[in-house]
């Protein structure tokens, strides 16, 4: 058995052995056990199925004819091991072997909208729901066994999917015998919410963590071997009979539209055709290579528009000077900051800058849409397929219930990437051609036109008294919005297909504040957002990129704590411990310091001469319940400006750990991607367009630049509900590196990325 | 269009194709091998890597007419769960991939390296793998897997 079922080949009914029995509807499934007897109340007759709504146990859990379990999950695994983690949670609560659980994800026909991959909530919120659903399934199955065996439920237990008397294991009934092949007919208490906050528990109480046998074990991911042996189809690999290949044509100057399209320019390419609708321009052909050639040869005259973007060198000044569209106080505002600054003995101030960054997924987005008899099917790598379902319905004007979206693993996804755009483009083209259409973007579109992580500046200031105590603290972020386009493609005003076809952008406002537990007598935190540089289809539209705005904010806030520490000549760990008040944060900081053998002294070191100097830096942050502290030990080559990481020590507390092996891999990936964003990544642009459009112009961390070592301390808290792990550990990383550079060199770097050139310049 | 014979994973396929078409599209669309993947079309990332006569090449920039009688091996032809190449076995044991889309580059390049030299030095591993891309950041795992495979090869 495998955790990974190819969703493209999956239909729920095929999983369940149908008995050919007469379909019996038993009506509303409320409290029927008093009327019909437990068996009829808890299990639907073969072949019939309660509605796919969150208030039905059958929506989440099914026991198949062979006793295996299917878990239907409305979130997605982006490669961080959720197939294993959710399988473990379900197997644990049901008391079945891990290997008998299949987790089926992201198919709108078999799962409800649990928010997709979003905010590292796969375990935190998605797993929470699967836990209570599996617990309820076990409770119901034990009740059914109780009736069948005429033994009170409290005298029964479950071992490997077999309910048996505690006193006499020979008195037993297996899950397969009790319900195998039929659906649960059990209501759940749904909170009436969809998305991340969906919650629908039953009557059962989940297990006490002290009884766990499967949760907490480092079980391997079973979806890895099929990838390694080339047996996994990605969203790029789905094919349909009669399928057309399409490529999109994007304007060379952002904001311009096609004035004249010379179809004769591609007439010698067999089957190549053009589709033009306002600014939406595509070529397509039966043969993929012909579609690619057509996209390269098509002659287009574009409207002459005034370039929209500022010069890149003026980006941060633009952010600084532009009046905010929205000002938002956020977090606990304490005391009177202005008054405290007026009477301060000393004020420390600093400003930090973070560039636009790209998702730069391994492959540009790809989607396939087929419309048959009014029924639309979309295969997409989007991490939010339930929202894509809404988006397609609105984009091509078909009823929602006629749209079926199947998530198929894509070429990497780290937030609101280009995947949702590709799905909408394919839907438009499938509708106008009447054929299945596969749209794959080009590399320059994948890196150039994906939604960007927003550029921002961050100002921090602290008021110190005569003894060097921090008496007031203010932190403000100002930048482009994290929801200039929204975090999913459910609305045409948030996708390129919408924009290019004339739907106006509805730019939203959101940013964020530092996640920490520093307590100061006076504290103020807020953010401000400015409008996008271009109010329509834009390669600089901003949205969610992994740990949205977290790396930006904490680069600034945790660098600033070090600036205060060095100002007053205090060890940076010691300064943090003076003001951090949360007990878990304190334990975390002490754990990372102990593991890294942290020696107390102020920064910078002043004992080094020579070209290569080394230093250490610390930073920590919270993210929705998870806490991460990092110690970076680095070396700086003063001639080249190149930074080498000797060691990252990471302490990670996300409450209860489901799978420590998967967690460590997730943390490592976060560290490498975070290091890449810190040292190399910056979206480049001129006044006309984004100019970083491939791996040469948008470099990421090379394997030869990997840290020499990553040492991870996992703090397991079995009795604390698990929080997320997919993003938090990249959050304090940039500051840990910046603080280590300062320790090594005495030079404070306040702008990302720390390329060799920028580090060299900073030191000169 | 031209009639072209391609020896892929030990079997000769005859296709009709534009001679300038990159091998990648012949493998994916004419021969039906979903690996390798399109990543950039610029030979910058490695997602399309296959072996040509044992050497790792980027199929996204190699014209199909340039293959001649050369023997092409894709990830699917490198090994199977029953008879894996050591780097594949090590990749599973080290649980390397996250999204997994980049896998052809790393596995095919490492396999070519290890087939040439069972015990590469750290510098040789770096030299072979530099330039390949993994966006999920599995760098640490990749190197662990190459070293594990090297140990398996005795």
ipTM for the predicted complex: 0.98
Beta-carbon contacts of A642 under 8 Å, excluding residues fewer than 6 positions away, are A636, A756, A759
> What is the least distance, in Å, from the CA of B149 to any CA of chain A?
14
**Residue B76 and residue A409: Cβ atoms within 8 Å?**
no
Residue A252 lies in a domain: yes
Structural element, H or E, at residue A421: helix A419-433
**Residue B95 and residue A696: Cβ atoms within 8 Å?**
no
Residues A665, A582 share a domain: yes
Q: What is the reported pLDDT for A24?
A: 27
**Which residue, A413, A429, A448, sits at the end of a domain?**
A448
Which of the residues in chain A have pLDDT under 70?
1-41, 44-47
Q: Is B57 helix (H, G, I), strand (E, B) or coil?
A: strand
**Residue B99 and residue A412: Cβ atoms within 8 Å?**
yes
Residue A460 lies in a domain: no
Sign of the alpha-carbon torsion through A730, A731, A733, A738 = positive
Q: Compute CA distances A200 → A58, A291, A536, A622, whole Å.
A: 12, 47, 39, 27
> What is the least distance, in Å, from the CA of A674 to any CA of chain B?
9
**Residue B139 and residue A665: Cβ atoms within 8 Å?**
no
Residue A753 lies in a domain: yes
Q: Compute CA distances A8 → A175, A239, A379, whole Å.
A: 28, 10, 8
Distance of CA A568 to the CA centre of its chain: 39
Residues A752, A606 share a domain: yes
Beta-carbon contacts of A352 under 8 Å, excluding residues fewer than 6 positions away, are A457, A458, A460, A555, A556, A559, A560, A750, A751
Residues A410, A279 share a domain: yes
Nearest to B101 among A234, A293, A710 (CB): A234
Residue A514 lies in a domain: no
Residue A713: phi, psi to the nearest 5? -105, 115
Domain boundary assignment for chain B: 2-77, 79-152
> What is the least distance, in Å, from the CA of B69 to any CA of chain A?
22
Residue of chain B whose alpha carbon sits nearest to that of A228: B88
**Residue B40 and residue A443: Cβ atoms within 8 Å?**
yes
Q: Is A291 helix (H, G, I), strand (E, B) or coil?
A: helix
**Residue B135 and residue A694: Cβ atoms within 8 Å?**
no
What's the CA gap between A416 and A546, in Å, rounded? 9
Interface contact A122, partner B, CB < 8 A: no
Residue of chain A whose alpha carbon sits nearest to that of B87: A228
Full pLDDT tens readout for chain B, 154 residues: 999 999 999 999 999 999 999 999 999 999 999 889 999 999 999 999 999 999 999 999 999 999 999 999 999 999 999 999 999 999 999 999 999 999 999 999 999 999 999 999 999 999 999 999 999 999 999 999 999 999 999 8
Beta-carbon contacts of A148 under 8 Å, excluding residues fewer than 6 positions away, are A39, A173, A178
Q: What is the reported pLDDT for A49?
A: 82
Q: What is the reported pLDDT for B154?
A: 83
Residues of A in contact with B140 (CB under 8 A): 668, 672, 706-707, 710
**Residue B99 and residue A225: Cβ atoms within 8 Å?**
no
CB A285 within 8 A of CB A662: no
Residues A296, A172 share a domain: no
> What is the least distance, in Å, from the CA of B21 to any CA of chain A?
7
Domain extent for A114? 7-215+226-232
Q: What is the reported pLDDT for A33?
A: 36
Residues A672, A589 share a domain: yes
**Which residue, A397, A413, A448, sits at the end of a domain?**
A448
Give residue-wise pLDDT tens across range A277-331: 999 999 999 999 999 999 999 999 999 999 999 999 999 999 999 999 999 999 9
Residue A391 lies in a domain: yes
**Residue B99 and residue A413: Cβ atoms within 8 Å?**
yes
Residues A363, A251 share a domain: yes
**Residue A440 and residue B136: Cβ atoms within 8 Å?**
no
**Residue A672 and residue B41: Cβ atoms within 8 Å?**
no
Nearest to B81 among A78, A229, A672 (CB): A229
Residue A727 lies in a domain: yes
**Which residue, A399, A424, A448, sits at the end of a domain?**
A448
Residues 613-652 of A with CB under 8 A from B: none
**Which of B64, B80, B131, B139 is the best residue to mutate to test the A interface, defined by the most A CB atoms within 10 Å of its own CB?**
B139
Residues of B in contact with A230 (CB under 8 A): 33-35, 74-76
Q: Which phi-psi region, left, alpha or beta, contains residue A335 (left: φ > 0; alpha: ψ -120 to 50)?
A: left
Beta-carbon contacts of A410 under 8 Å, excluding residues fewer than 6 positions away, are A234, A235, A236, A361, A363, A365, A366, A380, A381, A382, A383, A419, B99, B101
Residue of chain B whose alpha carbon sits nearest to that of A233: B34
CATH superfamily of B79-152: [2Fe-2S]-binding domain (1.10.150.120)
Q: What is the reported pLDDT for A38?
A: 59
Residue A163: phi, psi to the nearest 5? -85, 130
Sheet strand arrangement including A172-174: A156-159, A162-165, A172-174
**Which of A285, A703, A704, A710 is the best residue to mutate to test the B interface, defined by the most B CB atoms within 10 Å of its own CB?**
A703
Residues A267, A273, A274: CA angle, nearest 5 degrees:
110
Pick the CATH number of B2-77 from 3.30.1360.200, 3.10.20.30, 3.30.1130.10, 1.20.1270.360: 3.10.20.30
Residue A537 lies in a domain: no
Residue of chain A whose alpha carbon sits nearest to that of B78: A229
Residues A264, A159 share a domain: no
Which CATH number belongs to the domain containing residue A754 in this structure?
A: 3.30.365.10
> What is the least distance, in Å, from the CA of A414 to any CA of chain B?
9
pTM above 0.90, yes or no: yes
Residue A354: phi, psi to the nearest 5? -135, 135
Nearest to A411 among B75, B96, B101 (CB): B101
Q: Compute CA distances A168 → A97, A165, A644, whole Å.
A: 21, 5, 63
**Residue B45 and residue A224: Cβ atoms within 8 Å?**
no
Residue of chain B whose alpha carbon sits nearest to that of A292: B21
**Residue B45 and residue A696: Cβ atoms within 8 Å?**
no
Residues A729, A645 share a domain: yes
**Residue B102 and residue A362: Cβ atoms within 8 Å?**
yes
Give residue-wise pLDDT tens across range A146-187: 999 999 999 999 999 999 999 999 999 999 999 998 999 999
CB B25 within 8 A of CB B32: no
Residues A128, A42 share a domain: yes
**Which of A8, A117, A289, A291 is the best residue to mutate to test the B interface, defined by the most B CB atoms within 10 Å of its own CB?**
A289
**Residue A227 and residue B29: Cβ atoms within 8 Å?**
no
Nearest to B76 among A230, A409, A442 (CB): A230
Q: What is the reported pLDDT for A48?
A: 76
Residue of chain B whose alpha carbon sits nearest to that of A237: B34
In total, how many domains does chain A have? 3
Q: What is the reported pLDDT for A367?
A: 98
Q: Is A417 helix (H, G, I), strand (E, B) or coil?
A: coil
Interface contact A729, partner B, CB < 8 A: no
What's the CA gap between A216 and A712, in Å, rounded? 16
Residue of chain A whose alpha carbon sits nearest to that of B95: A224
Tell me the two tokens of residue A372: 């048959």
């Amino acid at each position: 058995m495998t955790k990974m079922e190819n969703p493209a080949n999956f239909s729920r009914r095929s999983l369940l052995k149908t008995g050919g029995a007469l379909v019996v509807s038993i009506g509303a499934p409320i409290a029927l056990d008093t009327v019909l007897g437990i068996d009829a109340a808890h299990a639907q007759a073969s072949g019939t199925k309660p509605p796919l709504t969150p208030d039905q146990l059958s929506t989440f859990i099914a026991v198949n004819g062979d006793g295996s379990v299917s878990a239907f999950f409305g979130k997605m695994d982006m490669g961080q091991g959720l197939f294993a983690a959710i399988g473990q949670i379900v197997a644990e609560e049901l008391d079945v072997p891990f290997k008998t659980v299949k987790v089926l994800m992201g198919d709108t026909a078999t799962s409800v909208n649990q928010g997709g991959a979003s905010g590292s909530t796969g375990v935190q919120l998605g797993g929470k729901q699967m836990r209570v659903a599996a617990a309820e399934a076990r409770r119901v199955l034990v009740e059914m066994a109780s009736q069948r065996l005429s033994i009170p439920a409290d005298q029964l237990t479950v071992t490997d999917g077999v309910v048996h008397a505690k006193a006499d294991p020979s008195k037993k009934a297996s899950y397969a015998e009790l319900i195998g092949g039929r659906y649960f007919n059990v209501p759940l208490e749904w909170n009436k919410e969809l998305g991340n906050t969906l919650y629908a528990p039953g009557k059962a109480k989940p297990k006490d963590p002290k009884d766990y046998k499967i949760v907490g074990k480092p079980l391997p991911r079973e979806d890895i071997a099929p990838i390694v042996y080339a047996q996994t189809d990605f969203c790029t690999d789905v094919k349909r009979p009669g399928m057309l290949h399409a490529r999109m044509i994007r304007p060379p100057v952002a904001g311009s539209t096609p004035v004249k399209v010379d179809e004769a320019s591609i007439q010698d390419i067999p089957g190549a055709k053009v589709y033009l609708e306002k600014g939406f321009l595509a070529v397509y052909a039966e043969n993929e290579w012909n579609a690619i050639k057509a996209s390269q040869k098509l002659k287009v005259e574009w409207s002459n528009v005034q370039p929209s973007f500022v010069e890149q060198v003026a980006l941060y000044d633009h952010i600084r000077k532009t009046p905010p569209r929205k000002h938002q106080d956020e977090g606990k505002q304490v005391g009177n900051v202005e008054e405290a600054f007026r009477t301060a003995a000393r004020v420390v101030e600093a400003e930090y800058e973070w560039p636009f960054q790209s998702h730069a997924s391994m492959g540009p987005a790809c989607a396939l849409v087929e419309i048959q008899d009014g029924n639309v099917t979309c295969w997409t790598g989007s991490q939010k397929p339930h929202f894509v379902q809404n988006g397609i319905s609105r984009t091509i004007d078909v009823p929602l219930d006629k749209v079926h979206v199947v998530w198929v693993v894509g070429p990497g996804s780290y937030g609101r990437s280009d995947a949702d755009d590709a799905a909408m483009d394919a839907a438009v083209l499938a509708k106008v051609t009447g054929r299945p259409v596969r749209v794959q973007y080009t590399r320059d579109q994948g890196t150039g036109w994906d939604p960007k992580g927003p550029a921002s500046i961050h100002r921090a200031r602290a008021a110190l008294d005569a003894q060097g105590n921090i008496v007031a603290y203010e932190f403000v972020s100002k930048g482009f919005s994290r929801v200039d386009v929204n975090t999913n493609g459910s609305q045409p005003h948030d996708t390129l297909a919408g924009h290019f076809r004339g739907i106006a952008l509805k730019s939203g406002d959101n940013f964020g504040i530092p996640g920490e537990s520093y307590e100061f007598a006076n504290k103020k935190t807020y953010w401000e957002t400015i409008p996008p540089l271009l109010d329509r289809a834009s390669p600089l539209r901003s949205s969610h990129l992994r740990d949205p705005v977290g790396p930006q904010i904490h680069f600034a806030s945790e660098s600033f704590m070090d600036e205060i520490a060095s100002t007053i000549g205090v060890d940076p760990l010691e300064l943090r411990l003076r003001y951090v008040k949360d007990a878990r944060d304190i334990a975390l900081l002490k754990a990372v310091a102990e593991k890294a053998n942290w020696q107390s002294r102020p920064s910078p070191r002043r004992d080094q001469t020579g070209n290569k100097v080394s230093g250490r830096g610390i930073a920590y942050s919270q993210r929705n319940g998870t806490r991460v502290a990092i110690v970076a030990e680095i070396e700086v080559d003063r001639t080249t400006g190149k930074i080498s990481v000797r060691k990252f020590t990471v302490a990670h507390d996300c409450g209860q750990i489901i799978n420590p092996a998967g967690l460590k891999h997730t943390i490592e990936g976060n560290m490498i991607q975070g290091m890449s964003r810190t040292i190399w990544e910056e979206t480049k642009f001129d006044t006309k367009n984004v100019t970083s459009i491939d791996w040469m112009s948008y470099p990421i961390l090379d394997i030869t630049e990997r840290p020499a070592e990553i040492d991870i301390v996992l703090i397991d808290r079995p009795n604390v509900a698990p929080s997320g792990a997919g993003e938090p550990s990249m959050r304090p990383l940039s500051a840990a590196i910046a603080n280590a550079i300062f320790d090594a060199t005495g030079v404070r770097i306040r702008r990302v990325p720390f390329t060799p050139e920028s580090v060299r310049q900073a030191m000169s | 269009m031209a009639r072209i014979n391609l020896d892929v994973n030990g079997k000769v396929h005859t296709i009709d194709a534009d001679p300038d078409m990159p091998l990648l599209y012949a493998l994916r669309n004419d021969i039906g091998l979903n690996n390798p993947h399109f990543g950039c079309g610029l030979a910058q990332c490695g997602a399309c890597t296959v072996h040509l006569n044992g050497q790792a090449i980027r199929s996204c920039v190699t014209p199909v007419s340039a293959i001649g009688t050369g023997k092409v091996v894709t990830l699917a032809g490198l090994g199977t769960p029953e008879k894996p190449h050591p780097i594949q076995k090590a990749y599973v044991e080290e649980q390397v991939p996250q999204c997994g889309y980049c896998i052809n580059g790393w596995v095919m390049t490492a396999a070519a390296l290890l087939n040439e030299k069972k015990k590469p030095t750290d510098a040789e591993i770096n030299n072979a793998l530099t330039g390949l891309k993994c966006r999920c950041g599995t760098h640490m795992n990749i190197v662990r897997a190459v070293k594990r495979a090297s140990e398996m090869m005795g």
